[in-house]
Amino acid sequence: MSAPVIQLEDFRKTYTSGEVEVHAVQGVTLAIQPGEFVAIMGASGSGKSTMMNTLGCLDRPSSGRFLFDGVNVGELNRDELADLRNRKIGFVFQGFNLLSRTTALENVELPMLYCRPGIRGSVQRDLAEKALALVGLADRAEHTPSQLSGGQQQRVAIARALVNQPKLLLADEPTGNLDSRTSIEIMGIFQQLNAQGITVVMVTHELDISRYCRRVVVMRDGLVRSDEPVKDRLLATEELATLDAEQKAVQLA
């Protein structure tokens, strides 16, 4: 087995809010191998957002070790963290977080603006177009987010996350703002990308969404309560077919 993408060893995170110390995560040891598709679940306050920020290299552990692709993140400075996010991590957020009044294509080009060494404009455009095609939005490249549906916006966000060919795709409640059918479509895209070998980690609190993943980590009060593979894994393609059949039946009835 190759080296894990993510390796947490007794990871702890403590915030001070006012004079109160909040122990958001209190000792998590976890390894995620390349090619995995992991859902991190838990109620609010369980520490899953903190996990997410740390796995995304937006934040550093208070104590314990966090190795990302073999690199000790705790020892990196702000700029090195930024470079790591740029090259190795793709983010997908619940609120999409696209730049408004900026076309889909330019949103996808955004991470490439910060590549070092820089990428030529024409190459950026090519890569962004390819990424958009991958999520099925080649014909919406010049649309701004306000001209796109929620599902389409989330696809643009996924294309943006993919464009630098990251080691890890990190999704924070990616279906939180979407209806159930669109949610399944988005999960379908994740499954498809995972099948191509991309490591996906997502945070969700929806049980049925987690069943599209391969492994579910449940957190409560800053600790991992269970960590097991998904039985009866759902496939988005099949679910969509079932949904279509049901709709047809309703219409016939």
Partner 1 sequence: MFAVFKIAMRALRRNILRSFLTMLGIIVGISAVIVGVSMGTGAKAEVDKRIASMGQNLLTVMSGNMSRGGVRGGFGMQPNLTLADYEAIRKEISGITAVSPEVRTQGQVAAGNQNTSVQVLGVSAEYLAARSWNLSSGDNFSETDVRNANKVCLIGATTAKTLFGENVDPVSQVIRIKGAPFTIVGSLEAKGSGSFGQDQDDIILMPYTSAMKRLSGDTRLRSFFVQAATPQDIADVQAQLTDLLRQRHQITEGKDDDFMVRTQQETSDFFNANNRIMTILIGFFAGISLVVGGIGIMNIMLVSVTERTREIGIRLAVGARGRDVLLQFLTEAVLLSVLGGVLGIATGYWLAPLLTKFAEFPTLISNTSVALAFTVSAIIGIVFGFFPALKAARLDPIDALRYE
Between 31 and 58, CB nearer to partner 1: 58
User: Which residues lie below 8 Å from residue 45, measured CB to CB, with a gap of 6+?
Assistant: 221
Between 121 and 229, CB nearer to partner 1: 121
Between 164 and 204, CB nearer to partner 1: 164
Residues in 203-222 at the binding interface with partner 1, rule: CB under 8 A: none
8 Å CB contact between 211 and 35: no
Q: How far apart are CA 222 and CA 10, in angstroms?
A: 12
At how many degrees (to 10) do helices 121-134 and 150-162 cross? 130
User: Which residues lie below 8 Å from residue 90, measured CB to CB, with a gap of 6+?
Assistant: 111, 158, 160, 161, 162, 163, 164, 166, 168, 169, 170
Which pair of tokens denotes residue 113? 């603006």
Residues 132-151, mask of contacts with partner 1 (x by CB under 8 A):
--------------------
Q: Does 113 bind partner 1 (CB under 8 A)?
A: yes
Q: Does 66 bind partner 1 (CB under 8 A)?
A: no
- Using CB under 8 A, which of 1, 78, 146, 252 touches partner 1? 78
CB of 59 to partner 1, least distance (A): 6
Between 19 and 79, CB nearer to partner 1: 79
Which pair of tokens denotes residue 153? 């916006």
8 Å CB contact between 221 and 190: no
Q: Does 79 bind partner 1 (CB under 8 A)?
A: yes
Which pair of tokens denotes residue 234? 């759902």
Q: How far apart are CA 170 and CA 173, in angstroms?
A: 10
Q: Does 59 bind partner 1 (CB under 8 A)?
A: yes
Q: Does 114 bind partner 1 (CB under 8 A)?
A: yes
- Using CB under 8 A, which of 3, 99, 133, 245 touches partner 1? 99
Between 160 and 215, CB nearer to partner 1: 160
The site for partner 1, by CB under 8 A, has a size of 25
8 Å CB contact between 172 and 94: yes
Q: Give me the residues that bind partner 1 (CB under 8 A), please.
A: 53, 56, 58-59, 78-79, 82-83, 85-87, 91, 93, 97-99, 101, 110-111, 113-115, 121, 160, 164
